[in-house]
Amino acid sequence: MGLLEGQRALVTGGASGIGRATARRMAEEGARVAVVDIDADGARAVADEIGASAHHADVSSPEELQAAVEAAAAAMGGLSVVFNNAGVGNLSPLHEWDPDEWDRLVRVNLTGVFLGFRAAIPLMRASGGGAIVSTSSISGTRPAAGEAPYAAAKAGVAAITASAALEYGPAIRVNAVAPGMIRTALTEPLLQFIPHERERFEQSTPMARIGEPEDVADVVVFLCSPMARFVTGQTVVVDGGLTLHGSGVDGILRQLFPGPS
Segments of the chain assigned E as strands: 8-12, 32-37, 53-56, 81-84, 130-135, 172-179, 235-238
**C-alpha to C-alpha distances, 108 to 37, 181, 237, nearest whole angstrom:** 12, 20, 21
- Alpha carbons 233 and 167: distance in angstroms, whole number: 10
* E strand intervals along 14-164: 32-37, 53-56, 81-84, 130-135
Angle, alpha carbons 17-105-16 (nearest 5°): 10
Question: Which SS3 state, helix, strand or coil, does residue 176 take?
Answer: strand
Peptide bond connecting 170 to the previous residue in cis, omega within 30 degrees of 0: yes
Query: Is the torsion defined by CA of 245, 247, 252, 258 positive or negative?
Result: negative
> String of b and e for 46-66 (b: at least 16 CB within 10 Å)?
bbeebebbbbbbbbbbeebbb
Q: Which residues on neighbouring strands pair with residue 174, listed in sequence order? A: 132
Which residues are known catalytic residues? Answer: 150
Closest C-alpha among 230, 224, 219, 177 to residue 82? 224
Query: Which residue type occupies 54?
Result: A
